[in-house]
Amino acid sequence: MSDTHDLTHAGFDTLAVHGAREDLASLGLHVPSIDLSSTSPLPDVESGGDSYENLATGGTLEEGHSAVYQRLWNPTVARMEEAVASLEGTEQAVSFGSGMAALSAVLLACVQEGKPNIVAVRPLYGGTDHVLATGMLGTKVTWATADEVGTSITDETGLIIVESPGNPTLELVDIADVVRQAGDVPVMVDNTFATPVLQRPLEFGATLVMHSATKYLGGHGDVLAGLIATNAEWAAKIRGVRALTGGILHPLSAYLIHRGLQTLPIRVRAQQAGAQVVAEWLTTQEGVEKVYYPGVEGDDQAGLLGRQMSGPGAIVAFDMGSYEEAANIANHTKLITHAVSLGGVDSLIQHPASLTHRPVAPGARPVPGVLRLSVGLEDPKDLIADLERAMQA
């Protein structure tokens, strides 16, 4: 990419707006074009074959070479990946058709390397927990608390997986401490809830950063995508898996994620401010037994706020004490949509034990009174009024 301006010393918000767009003006463009080509002309048989070999084994497109085929390379997708890598501070990023496809590629890369054992710290997103528990991709999971990571590692451990904040109850995990225990074993942090606005796991020694870009990075509830931000070596491994297993991202989806990044910092901060107001209100409500939110007193036990994560984020979970009370709220909110997913501009509420975390083993599943609320950009007083009405219904 030929730079027309230099973002080397740009602040985070500037990078969010301009990242991987430096060459646009020189192309006579204001926004990236969407390249929908499923195939690309090959200049001649020999260089076409070379490009195929390079891309199918995880390489990146070389200057002047053909992209060959959309399952191997797409410029719109590659552009967005470059933007995400710059926000996470990693060498590269690799995108997928969903967060689960991204996770699957990493797990398959571990299996391929002969390191199929995965040490995973609960709580995790229900789908992550499920795919690890089934072992359907050839991995074997060892569940560990954050303190047990070091003693859970064997010669065949290929990866440590942690989520911070964890889904759905916002536990914060000390990433630097997990990395220290992990030694040579790479640590992957699911950064979906925090986003690079609030936390950049690479700074604490993580090797891989995972995103369900479906959530905050996209931010508008209209695109499914997954990302792994990592070093060049790991990126090549998982691009190789992606080329062969086909979990690619559509260029239109990549365009939407890249556009979403431009407002990511401002959305996350505004949603976080709303979440703080809603969380504090919840702590004053008699029917609410517990509020899970790192921004309320007593919830950030490890003192990681400000140190690892610059703010508490915009997801709030709360325990209504029973399935009936929780279900009653989810069934009666109006402004807040009863739906899975999170991180968009509009607020969503869901009951993890029945939905996202249904496949999780009973002992590790969230208690039946817990609801997870993703706070959007609405006026928090309207969200509070909606919750209050639903609580009384």
Which of 214, 276, 347, 350 forms a contact with ligand PLP (CB under 6 A)? 214
Q: CA 173 to CA 199: how far, in whole Å? A: 12
71 assigned to active site: yes
Residue among 90, 42, 36 nearest 65 (CA): 42
Residue selected from 218, 226, 265, 295 as contacting ligand PLP according to rule CB under 6 A? 226
Catalytic, 3? Answer no
Sign of CA dihedral 126, 127, 132, 135: positive
Quick check: 352 binds ligand PLP (CB under 6 A)?
Answer: no
Of all residues in the shown chain, the one whose CB is closest to ligand PLP is 99
Q: Which is nearer to ligand PLP, 70 or 167 (CB)?
A: 167
Cβ-contact 62, 187 below 8 angstroms? no
**How far is it, in rounded angstroms, from Cα 53 to Cα 55?**
6
Going residue by residue from 132 to 171, which x/- string records binding to ligand PLP, judged by CB under 6 A? -------------------------------x---x----
Please give the sequence-ordered ranges of beta strands (E in DSSP) within 47-144, or none if there are none: 92-96, 117-121, 140-144
Nearer to ligand PLP, 132 or 387 (CB): 132
Question: How many residues does this entry show for the chain?
Answer: 393
By C-beta, is 189 or 390 nearer to ligand PLP? 189
The edge-to-edge listing of strands for the beta sheet with 226-230 is: 92-96, 226-230, 208-212, 187-190, 157-163, 117-121, 140-144
Which of 122, 215, 242, 290 is labelled catalytic? 215
Cα–Cα distance measured from residue 137 to residue 296, given in angstroms and rounded to the nearest whole number: 39
What DSSP character marks residue 353? T
Residue 125 known to be catalytic: yes
Examine residue 224 and tell whether it contacts ligand PLP (CB under 6 A). yes
CA distance linking residue 77 with residue 232, whole number of Å: 17
Query: Is 167 in contact with 356 (CB distance < 8 Å)?
Result: yes
The one-character DSSP state at 248 is P
Segment lying near ligand PLP (by CB under 6 A), choices 185-193, 273-281, 300-308, 373-381:
185-193
CB of 181 to ligand PLP, least distance (A): 22
Could you tell me how many residues of this chain bind ligand PLP (CB under 6 A)? 16
Contact pattern from residue 94 through residue 113 relative to ligand PLP, giving x for each residue in contact according to CB under 6 A and a dash for the rest: ----xxx-------------
The verdict on whether 140 is a catalytic residue reads no
Task: Give the number of other CB atoms < 10 A from CB of residue 163.
Answer: 25
What character string, x for contact with ligand PLP (CB under 6 A) and - otherwise, covers 62-101?
A: ------------------------------------xxx-
Q: Per-residue string for binding with ligand PLP, 300-329, x by CB under 6 A?
A: ------------------------------
Quote the least distance from Cβ 33 to ligand PLP, whole Å.
Answer: 25
Q: Is the peptide bond prior to 41 cis by the omega test (within 30 degrees of 0)?
A: no
Query: Three-class SS of residue 25?
Result: helix
- Catalytic residue numbers read 71, 125, 190, 215
Residues in touch with ligand PLP (CB under 6 A) = 98-100, 125, 127-128, 163, 167, 190, 192-193, 212, 214-215, 224, 226
